[in-house]
Structure 1
Amino acid sequence: MRAVVIERLGGAEVLQLKELPRPQPGPGEVLVRVVCAGVNPADWKCREGYLDGFLTYRFPFVLGFDLAGTVEALGDGVNDLAPGSRVFAQSDVGAGKWGAYAEFACVSRASLVPMPDNLDFAEAAAVPTPALAAWTGLFDEGALRPGQSVLIHGGGSAVGGFAIQFARCAGARIATTCGADSASRAQALGAECTLDYRTGDIQAALGRWAPEGVDLVLDCIGGGSLPEGLDLLRPGGILVAILTLAPGDAGPDHAGAARRGVRTAVAYSRMPSGELLGRIARLLAAGRVRPPVLDLLPLADVALAHDRLQHGRARRKQVLRVTG
């Protein structure tokens, strides 16, 4: 099979298109013929070694957290999927196995979900990691409830776009930071208040919208890009930061939060993720949530997709066409 592999950690130059043996599904696994693979910031961080505390690299290593494709073969103990079924998932790359940048991938059945009929493969591949991160941040860590107010920092990102939609579905009031070029889309997704992080005084503008502060700040960007985040919370509120693993990102100021009478938490996707992704799939199927706007690139352009994400040049979700 064709696959993008790395033989060592490093920059985008270590990405190589090679032929590898086709994997065989083990017990509880499904072999998926990958049609499209989503590209996430976690992919370039994985390529450079920032995930070495979470997984064991065995070279050659195939990157890629998100995939959509069709069922090719079933491992022992899996009998509830038919060959040819359309599915999507987070890959098992987080467990140190080969990921989504390949024509075939073995995925745990517990992570695999039938694709909604109203999505194509590229749209489905754009969903898992950003949607799971947004959900975990809002609900598992942030405990967002109907009627509460939330500031989503980074509403123009894939994670932020899903967070806006999930918060809207939950009956929350939503403000978001985003560039002027993303404001209209953020509003269409459900944001009541948009704040231009490049030019505006976020604290002053948010204070006019929520004078007592918001119940939840979801930081989808990190890296200290929202330095006054704790000051935007009402007493007892919570700031949840999406785990970025970016170099130099120390995460939220837990001690400072305690002094202010507010809370902090860090959100990350937990594996296997199929049960939660199934809930998200039902929202997608019902048309209550939409996938992000995307750029579809050939597999050979994987380095370009990584470069766009790593250096802040991606204006849309990056997705690779692997087969088909």
Structure 2
Amino acid sequence: MRAVVIDRTGGPDVLRLGNLPTPEPAAGEVLLRVACAGVNPADWKCREGYLSHFMQYSFPFVIGFDASGVVAAVGSGVKDFVPGQRVFAQTAVGAGKWGSYAEYVAVSQDCVVPIPDNLGFAEAAAVPTPALAAWTGLFDEGGLKPVQTVLVHGGAGAVGTFAVQLAKAAGATVAATCSAARRDELMALGCDLAIDYRGGDIAAAMQAWAPAGVDLVLDAVGCGTLPNGMDLLRPGGILVAILTLVSGDNGPDPAAAAQRGVRTAVAFSKMPSGARLREIAALLDSGRLRPPRIECLPLEHAGRALDLVQSGKAASKLVLRIAEPANAHDLVAGFQSGRPTEK
């Protein structure tokens, strides 16, 4: 199978397009014929070795956390998925297994979910990691409840876009920071206040909007870009930072928070993603949640996609197209009959 491969961790030069054996699904696993792979900041961090604190790399290694496609085969004990079924998933890259930048990926059945009928493959591939990060930050760590107030820092990014919508779906009142160019887009998603983080005074805008402070600040950017985030909270409120893994970004200071009478947390998913993804899929299916705007690139442009994400120059959520969706079922049939994948 074709795959974007690294043989060591490092910069953009370690990426290569190569051929690897097609994985076999183990017991409890689903083999996906990948149509699209979502591109996330975690992918370039994985390439550079930031995840070595959590996993052991075994080279050659395939990066990529998010995949959409069709079921090509299932391992023993899998009963809920059948070949040809449209699914999306979060891979086990964080556990040291091959990821989604490949024609096939084997994923635990606990992390695979049927794609809602109103989503295409590219849209589905844009969902898992950012939507799960938003969910973890808002609910698992932030304990968000209806009628509470939330500030999402970085509301126009993929995580922020999902966070704004999830918070609104939960009955919260939501403010978000974004560029002036993305303000209307956020307001269309239901945001109650959009603050220009470049030209506006975030603290002044929040003081006018929520004089007593908000219940929850979700920092989806990190790296010190919201230096006074704790000051925006009401007493007893919580600041949740999405884990960036970037050197020097240690997240909010719990001691400083305690002095202010507020709390801090770092959002990091610790559970199989399937249960949460099914809840997210239901919201997508109902239309209460929409994926971010998307730009598709071919697998061969994976290096460029990662550069755009790493530099912050990506104007949309980037997705790698690995197989044409219209041909996905034919490709699965080819796999099952033992014929090589045709290109």
User: TM-score if structure 2 supplies the norm length?
Assistant: 0.94
Partner-residue secondary structure (3-state), 1:51: helix
Query: Contact 1:129 / 1:269 at 8 angstroms: preserved in 2?
Result: no
Q: Cα deviations across residues 182-215 of structure 1 (Å, max 9, x unaligned)?
A: 1111111111111111111110111000001100
Query: Matches of 1:84 and 1:263 in 2, distance apart?
Result: 47
User: What residue number does 1:120 align with?
Assistant: 120
Partner-residue secondary structure (3-state), 1:56: coil
Give 1:20-39 correspondences, 5 Å limit: 20-39=20-39
User: What residue number does 2:180 align with?
Assistant: 180
User: What residue number does 2:287 align with?
Assistant: 287
Give 1:11-22 correspondences, 5 Å limit: 11-22=11-22
Moved over 6 A (4+): none
State the 1:280 CA deviation.
0.2
User: What residue number does 1:138 align with?
Assistant: 138
State the 1:69 CA deviation.
0.4
Query: Contact 1:239 / 1:264 at 8 angstroms: preserved in 2?
Result: yes
User: TM-score if structure 1 supplies the norm length?
Assistant: 0.99
Query: Matches of 2:185 and 2:56 in 1, distance apart?
Result: 39
Q: Cα deviations across residues 208-266 of structure 1 (Å, max 9, x unaligned)?
A: 00001100000000000000000000000000001110122111111100000000000
User: What residue number does 2:87 align with?
Assistant: 87
User: What residue number does 1:244 align with?
Assistant: 244
In structure 1, give the amino acid aligned to 2:3.
Answer: A
Give 1:184-263 correspondences, 5 Å limit: 184-263=184-263
Query: Matches of 2:190 and 2:94 in 1, distance apart?
Result: 32
Q: Cα deviations across residues 150-207 of structure 1 (Å, max 9, x unaligned)?
A: 0000001000000000011011010000001111111111111111111111101110
The unaligned stretches of length 5 or more in structure 1 are: none
User: What residue number does 2:49 align with?
Assistant: 49
Determine if the alignment matches structure 1 residue 319 to structure 2 residue 335.
no
Give 1:151-190 correspondences, 5 Å limit: 151-190=151-190
In structure 2, give the amino acid aligned to 1:287.
Answer: G
How many residues end up aligned between the 2 structures?
A: 324
State the 1:270 CA deviation.
2.7
Query: Matches of 1:180 and 1:201 in 2, distance apart?
Result: 13
Partner-residue secondary structure (3-state), 2:53: coil
State the 1:13 CA deviation.
1.4
The unaligned stretches of length 5 or more in structure 2 are: 325-343
Query: Matches of 2:83 and 2:135 in 1, distance apart?
Result: 30
In structure 2, give the amino acid aligned to 1:298.
Answer: P
Query: Contact 1:111 / 1:271 at 8 angstroms: preserved in 2?
Result: no
Identity %: 64
Q: Cα deviations across residues 255-308 of structure 1 (Å, max 9, x unaligned)?
A: 100000000000012341100000000000011100010110000000111000
CA RMSD of aligned residues (A): 0.6
